[in-house]
Amino acid sequence: MTQQNDVRAGIGLMIAATVVFALQDGISRHLAGTYNTYMVVMIRYWFFAAFVIALAARAPGGLKAATRTDQLGLQVFRGVLLAAEICVAVFGFTILGLIDSMAVFICYPLLIAALSGPVLGEKVGWRRWCAIGVGCLGVLIILQPGAGVFNPWAIVPLISALMFAVYGLLTRYVARHDSAATSFFWTGIAGAVAMTLVGMWFWEPMARSDWNWMALLCVSGVSGHWLLIKCYEMAEASAVQPFAYFHLVWSAILGISIFGETLRPEVVMGAALVVAAGLFTLWRERRQS
């Protein structure tokens, strides 16, 4: 893709993407609270697959260029891993709600930084290790593992964050040989095939009104990815990535106003530490690059 270096437009597109993804999370929580999670994610992936096929067909070289890879096994594993992560994340929404789930999930950039050394061979300095430690402290404040009221289901979004971090690292790894278009294509196709093989066994009738929500979920998923693509065309990832944390803000607003969730003080304190550590990590990566 052609880099235009319009940081202001890139920031606007990133914030718009976080709004769309927060809306997607809210709809996912609503539907998965009524219907089977696998079925909901499967239908969502059908539209995602159609989107990546249409995008690849319009790109230079068409579908042939998009499918060309010497890392097919790794590309398929990435796509299946992301689909599984989405299932875990949506399940977390139904158990814990949007606020608590997202407050823990946003630690994934720190997990990527921590794992980039052993997985990719990248150097992680002591400053970033300190930031990772602060982020872990923030997650512990949110989870309250020593409290008598600790909910073991709170581990679910942490597992989701770890899965997404591994997916992100694998994306970096395959990018050494494959284009972004190829990785994006196999993410959608592999995920759709995997979810169809699982989700078809959990099909159940859906009310007409919920089909409207499902259609909006599919449109929001495609729109969110399109906004991200345009965002990274406009500006470098390091310049716009800090604004991805707005996702937590919109999720909190939805959780409180629509689902009646409460914003616990320890969640605010822990999330603030995680976000601060994440921003510092992004700043260090940008400065080194």
Q: Among the listed ranges 33-42, 123-132, 221-230, which one has the minimum average pLDDT value?
A: 123-132
Q: Where are the domains of the chain?
A: 7-288
Predicted pLDDT of residue 91: 94
CA distance 187 to 178: 13
Mean pLDDT of the chain: 85
Contact call for residues 108 and 139 (beta carbons, < 8 A): no
Predicted pLDDT of residue 144: 67
Q: What is the pLDDT of residues 129-166, one digit of tens each?
A: 787 787 778 787 777 655 544 567 778 998 999 999 89
The two three-digit tokens of residue 258, written as one number: 């629509």
Predicted pLDDT of residue 132: 73
pTM, full prediction: 0.86
Predicted pLDDT of residue 212: 94
Q: What is the pLDDT of residues 185-194, one digit of tens each?
A: 999 999 999 9
pLDDT confidence bin for 278, thresholds 50/70/90: confident
Number of DSSP helices (H) and strands (E) in the chain, helices first: 13, 0
- Is pLDDT of 26 > 80? yes
Q: Give the mean pLDDT of 115-129.
A: 72
Nearest to 187 by CA among 261, 78, 106: 78
Q: What is the pLDDT of residues 34-93, one digit of tens each?
A: 999 999 999 999 999 999 999 899 888 888 888 999 999 999 999 999 999 999 999 999
| CA distances from residue 246 to 19, 89, 238, 264 in whole angstroms, order as listed | 8, 18, 15, 18
pLDDT confidence bin for 120, thresholds 50/70/90: low
